[in-house]
């Protein structure tokens, strides 16, 4: 495993749509392993492949309950609404934002071997999945936030 460089905004790769994964081989497994290690090293709770410069539909999420890897994730159901906690992003340091997200989602995708998987998520886990899936579509939290600000600022949006 290796720690990869996290792409920083405004790199155009972050605004690009990722392509579906069609080959479930050792290179994909290495990418997922590296993404997990990179996320952990950066103290993040999620990372999408475009954030390490790879335009493939793969994400890793760990909100402290164990690592979840998902390839070709797709949200198939959404319910409810949440506005907090504020979101940050490893690709956009020193900014956070208030983003309205579904409180419950059902996500279908594949594991690292191409086997179908489905996850139901609520609260913070649902927020993390939505944030990472947005990355796969070239959408950043600053694009959908109601307010963006510095974590230490109490004032208006930047």
- At 78, phi and psi to the nearest 5? -140, 140
Residue 136: alpha-carbon gap to chain centroid? 8
Show the tokens assigned to 51.
């954030």
Q: 89: annotated binding-site residue?
A: yes
Report the half-sphere exposure of 94 (CA within 13 A, side-chain side): 3
| CA 79/CA 67 separation, integer angstroms | 24
CA-nearest of 140, 146, 133 to 58 is 133
**Helix count and strand count (H, E) for the chain:** 3, 8
* Helical segments of the chain, H only: 26-41, 123-136, 141-144
Q: What is the pLDDT of residues 23-41, one digit of tens each?
A: 999 999 999 999 999 999 9
Show the tokens assigned to 38.
């990179």
Confidence category of residue 154, pLDDT binned at 50, 70, 90: low
This prediction's pTM: 0.95
Q: Is the pLDDT of residue 158 over 50?
A: no
pLDDT for the residue numbered 15 = 98
| CA 90/CA 45 separation, integer angstroms | 9
CA-nearest of 101, 19, 105 to 56 is 19
- Taking 3-state DSSP, the helix, strand and coil percentages for the chain, each rounded to the nearest 5, stand at 25, 30, 40
Q: Residue for token digits 């290796």?
A: 2
| CA 70/CA 13 separation, integer angstroms | 20
Q: Which is it for the CA torsion 81, 45, 61, 72, positive or negative?
A: positive
Domains of the chain are 12-149 (3.90.45.10)
Supply the residues annotated as catalytic: 132
Q: What is the pLDDT of residues 35-60, one digit of tens each?
A: 999 999 999 999 999 999 999 999 99
């Amino acid at each position: 495993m290796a720690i990869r460089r996290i792409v920083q905004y405004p790199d155009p790769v972050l605004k690009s749509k990722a392509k579906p994964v069609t080959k479930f081989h050792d290179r994909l497994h290495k990418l997922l392993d590296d993404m997990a290690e990179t996320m952990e090293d950066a103290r993040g709770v999620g990372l999408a492949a475009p954030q390490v410069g790879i335009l493939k539909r793969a994400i890793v999420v760990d909100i402290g309950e164990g690592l979840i890897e998902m390839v070709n994730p797709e949200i198939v159901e959404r319910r409810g609404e949440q506005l907090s906690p504020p979101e940050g992003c490893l690709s956009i340091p020193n900014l956070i934002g208030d983003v309205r997200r579904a409180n419950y989602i059902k996500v279908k995708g594949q594991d690292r071997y191409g086997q179908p998987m489905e996850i139901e998520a609520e609260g913070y886990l649902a927020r993390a999945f939505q944030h990472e899936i947005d990355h796969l579509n070239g959408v950043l939290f600053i694009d959908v936030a109601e307010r963006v600000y510095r974590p230490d600022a109490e004032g208006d949006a930047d």
